[in-house]
Amino acid sequence: MNETRVLTLWNDGVVNEDDAAVLRRRCEELPIPFDAAAREAVRALREAFLGRDDASGLAAPQIGISKRIIAFRNRGFTSDGAVDGTWSKKDVEILVNPRITQTRGDLVVLSEGCLSCPDVRVQIARFPEIKVRGYDMFGQKVSRRYFDYVARIVQHEMDHLDGKLIVDYEGAVLVPKKKRNLFESLLART
Ligand SMILES: [Zn+2]
């Protein structure tokens, strides 16, 4: 499969300065209605996301597009994020210029990983229910509610649009034992 390269903060213990600069940038909104460039950006993110089976979601800046677009699967998880294998292509959602307009419930802490932060997981508190307004892949206005793990993915992907990554949270960082020394110095520099 021809996978689109995902930008990462580090690789093999070395900080990727160029990738990090893009990942840290605040993304711009797409024009509504979409112009040709906006349609192309949405298409590129959707294709990139469909081209991998190791991600629950992907944000445009992760493939080098500094626009406010996210892609994610809206089903196929248990409430704690385990994959239950029931999603297919039709369960992929795109949100453009998303805004959280309502949150509900007590924050839930779970560990999260991110393709842009290889090998680490971080304990992060997220809302179990959110309401989001934005636009779909065709530029149509949408208002949707997400629950549990899908709500978590949407919050995670929306963080990317503001240049925020899991390592920016205060929660415990989980690193494979044999890489612990490596990550102590690495995380201090990102
Ligand atoms: Zn991520």
User: Across all residues in the chain, what is the average pLDDT?
Assistant: 93
Q: What's the gap in Å between 142 CA and the centre of ligand 1?
A: 23
What is the value of pTM for the model shown? Answer: 0.94
Q: What's the gap in Å between 32 CA and the centre of ligand 1?
A: 25
Q: What's the gap in Å between 116 CA and the centre of ligand 1?
A: 6
Tell me what pLDDT residue 2 has.
Answer: 63
Going along the chain from its start, the domains and CATH numbers come out as 10-189 (3.90.45.10)
* pLDDT surpassing 80 at residue 126: yes
Residues with CB under 5 A from ligand 1 (ion): 114
Tens-digit pLDDT profile for residues 76-93 = 888 778 878 778 888 999
166, 156 in Cβ contact below 8 A?
A: yes
Section 142-157 average pLDDT: 97
Catalytic residues, which ones?
157
Tell me what pLDDT residue 1 has.
Answer: 53
Tell me what pLDDT residue 178 has.
Answer: 80
54, 95 in Cβ contact below 8 A?
A: no
List the single range of 15-24, 107-116, 174-183 with lowest mean pLDDT.
174-183
* pLDDT surpassing 90 at residue 180: no
Q: Which of 87, 161, 98 is nearest to 130 (CA)?
A: 98
Q: What's the gap in Å between 118 CA and the centre of ligand 1?
A: 10
Per-residue confidence at 120, pLDDT binned at 50, 70, 90? very high
* pLDDT surpassing 70 at residue 142: yes
Per-residue confidence at 189, pLDDT binned at 50, 70, 90? confident
